[in-house]
Structure 1
Amino acid sequence: MKTFIAHLHPLLVHLPIGVLLVFLLLEYLRRNEKYKLIEPINKLLFFIGIASALLSIITGLLNAELSTYPEHDIFWHKWTAIGTTLLFIVYYLLRNNITDRRLFVFSFYALLLISISATGHLGGVLTHGENYLSFEVDDQPEIKPLQIQNMQEAMVYEDLVQYIFDKNCISCHGAQKQKGELRLDEFQYVLTGGKSGKIIQSGELNKSEIIRRILLDDSDEKHMPPKGKLALRDFEIQLLKWWIQSGAANQQKVREMSADSITINAIKQFHQTFSQNPKPVAIERPPIKPLDPSIIKELQSIGFTITPLSINENYYRVVAYNVKDSITKALGRVQKIAPHIIELKLSFTKADDATLQLIPEFVNIEKLWLDHTEIGTAKLNSMTSLKNLKYLNLYKTNIQKAELESINFSKELQIIYPAPKDTLLIASDTTLLPKPTQ
Structure 2
Amino acid sequence: MFGQHILRAFGKLYDYKINLGILRRLGALRPSRSGLVLALLLASVSASAQTGQEEPPEILTFLGRFHPLLVHIPIGFLFVAFMLEVFSRFQRYRELRHAVTFILLLGTISAVLSAVMGYFLSLSGGYEADTLFWHQWLGIGVAVLSVVAYVLKTNADRWPSFPGGRVYFPVFVLAVFLTMGAGHYGGALTHGSDYLTQYMPQPLRTLAGLPPRQKPVQSKPITNLAEAVVYRDIVHPIVETRCVSCHNPDKMKGDLRMDSPEQLVKGGESGPLFVAGNAQQSEMVKRLLLPEEHDDHMPPKGKSQLTKEQVELIRWWIDGGASFDKTVAQLQATPEVKVMLARLGNGAATDKPSGVMALKVPPAPAPLLGQLRQMGMGVTPVAQGSNLLQVKWWKKAEPAGKEPFVLMPKLAQQVTWLDLGNAQLPAEAWDVLPALKNLTRLHLQGSNVTDAVLAKLKGLPHLEYLNLYGTAVTDAGLGHLAGLKQLKSLYLWQTKVTPEGVRQLQQQLPDLRVDQGWAEKGEKAAAGVLGGLGK
Cα deviation for residue 395 of structure 1 reads 8.2
Report 1:341-380 matches (<5 A). Answer: 348-351=404-407, 374-375=431-432
Q: 2:442–2:465: 8 Å Cα contact kept in structure 1?
A: no
2:341 is matched with which residue? 271
Cα deviation for residue 318 of structure 1 reads 5.5
1:294 is matched with which residue? none
2:410 aligned with 1:319: no
Q: CA separation of 1:233/1:144 partners in 2, compared to 1, >3 Å: closer, same or farther?
A: closer
Secondary structure class of the residue paired with 2:107? helix
Cα deviation for residue 220 of structure 1 reads 4.0
RMSD: 4.5
Q: CA separation of 1:322/1:212 partners in 2, compared to 1, >3 Å: closer, same or farther?
A: closer
Q: Distance in 2 between matches of 1:352 and 1:89?
A: 68
Q: CA separation of 1:368/1:160 partners in 2, compared to 1, >3 Å: closer, same or farther?
A: closer
Q: 1:130–1:176: 8 Å Cα contact kept in structure 2?
A: yes
Q: Distance in 1 between matches of 2:266 and 2:86?
A: 53
Secondary structure class of the residue paired with 1:349? helix
Give the TM-score, by structure 2 length.
0.52
Q: Distance in 2 between matches of 1:419 and 1:243?
A: 18
Aligned counterpart in structure 2 of residue 50 of structure 1, from 104, 108, 115? 108
Aligned counterpart in structure 2 of residue 134 of structure 1, from 197, 208, 218? 197
Report 1:76-225 matches (<5 A). Answer: 76-95=134-153, 96=156, 97=162, 101=166, 107-134=170-197, 136=199, 141-151=216-226, 153-174=227-248, 178-180=252-254, 182-194=256-268, 198-203=272-277, 208-225=282-299
Q: 2:152–2:165: 8 Å Cα contact kept in structure 1?
A: no
Q: Distance in 2 between matches of 1:123 and 1:244?
A: 36
2:466 aligned with 1:420: yes
**Structure 1: which 5+ runs fail to align?**
279-307, 310-314, 324-342, 361-366, 382-390, 406-416, 428-433
2:362 is matched with which residue? none
Secondary structure class of the residue paired with 2:371? strand
Q: Deviations over 1:58-83 (max 9, x none)?
A: 22122222352222222211111001
1:330 is matched with which residue? none
Q: 1:155–1:251: 8 Å Cα contact kept in structure 2?
A: yes
Cα deviation for residue 420 of structure 1 reads 1.6
1:71 is matched with which residue? 129
Q: Distance in 1 between matches of 2:78 and 2:329?
A: 63
Q: Distance in 1 between matches of 2:436 and 2:253?
A: 55
Q: 1:146–1:271: 8 Å Cα contact kept in structure 2?
A: no
Q: 1:235–1:269: 8 Å Cα contact kept in structure 2?
A: no
Q: 2:131–2:250: 8 Å Cα contact kept in structure 1?
A: no
Q: Deviations over 1:247-292 (max 9, x none)?
A: 3222223443445xxxx245235324544479xxxxxxxxxxxxxx
Q: 1:69–1:180: 8 Å Cα contact kept in structure 2?
A: no
Q: Distance in 2 between matches of 1:271 and 1:191?
A: 25
Q: CA separation of 1:51/1:106 partners in 2, compared to 1, >3 Å: closer, same or farther?
A: closer
**Structure 2: which 5+ runs fail to align?**
1-58, 157-161, 201-212, 349-364, 376-388, 392-401, 419-428, 445-452, 470-485, 487-531
Q: Deviations over 1:4-47 (max 9, x none)?
A: 32221111110011001111122223334555544453222122
Secondary structure class of the residue paired with 2:247? coil
Q: Distance in 1 between matches of 2:372 and 2:281?
A: 48
Equivalent pairs counted in the alignment come to 338
Residue type of the partner of 1:134?
Answer: T
Q: Deviations over 1:175-212 (max 9, x none)?
A: 67554553323212211234665423444657643334
Residue type of the partner of 1:115?
Answer: L
Q: CA separation of 1:31/1:376 partners in 2, compared to 1, >3 Å: closer, same or farther?
A: closer
Q: Distance in 2 between matches of 1:126 and 1:187?
A: 23
Q: CA separation of 1:208/1:72 partners in 2, compared to 1, >3 Å: closer, same or farther?
A: farther
Secondary structure class of the residue paired with 1:126? helix
Cα deviation for residue 144 of structure 1 reads 2.8
Secondary structure class of the residue paired with 1:348? helix
Q: Distance in 1 between matches of 2:460 and 2:282?
A: 36
Q: Distance in 2 between matches of 1:347 and 1:36?
A: 71
Cα deviation for residue 155 of structure 1 reads 2.7
Q: 1:239–1:266: 8 Å Cα contact kept in structure 2?
A: no
Q: Distance in 2 between matches of 1:435 and 1:24?
A: 63
Share of identical aligned residues, percent?
A: 29
